[in-house]
Amino acid sequence: MLLDADADAASILAAAAQQAGVPMPTDFSIESVAEQDWVRLTQSQFDPIPISPRLWIVPTWHVAPDSRAINLKLDPGLAFGTGSHPTTRLCLRWLDEHLQGGETLLDYGCGSGILAIAAAKFGTARVDGVDIESAGGHRLARQRRPE
């Protein structure tokens, strides 16, 4: 955990252990961490992802590597479907190879909506994406073919 330099780390750890109902850890260390631009450090770990010759997933802080390609601007996050997982890439490749334009597509359990967005970019007539968040809220994303 990150604490202010003058914080009593041992007391804070003891209180956290007590609240969690676990014994106080006996093997821990305290070290100083230099101030950094954590946002830029995190962003540097994510580069554009090539899916196919005509499709890229590009974080918003990057310039698209191929301006002629379909570049999905999508920032990495906690939702499944940022393009980094092999199943998402396989589904995107399948859509790229099989959609002809004019189809109707349902992205059930859409997460970030990446498959629905890609399908819309590939020319589907109608795309619906549906997901239920773990917190009990419901999210419905409806995408139509972009103009």
Q: State the pLDDT at residue 59.
A: 86
Q: State the pLDDT at residue 147.
A: 44
Domain locations along the chain: 1-35, 36-144
Are 62 and 45 in contact by the 8 Å Cβ rule? The answer is no
Q: State the pLDDT at residue 61.
A: 85
Q: State the pLDDT at residue 75.
A: 75
Select from 3.40.50.150, 3.40.50.300, 1.10.533.10, 3.40.50.360 the CATH code of 36-144.
3.40.50.150
Give residue 27's region: left, alpha or beta (phi > 0; psi -120 to 50). beta
Position with higher pLDDT, 114 vs 31: 114
Position with higher pLDDT, 75 vs 71: 71
27: tokens are 């093997």
Region 18-28 average pLDDT: 89
pLDDT in tens, 72-126: 988 776 556 677 788 889 999 999 999 999 999 999 888 888 999 999 999 999 9
pLDDT in tens, 38-57: 656 666 668 888 999 999 99
Q: State the pLDDT at residue 55.
A: 95
Residue type at 20? A
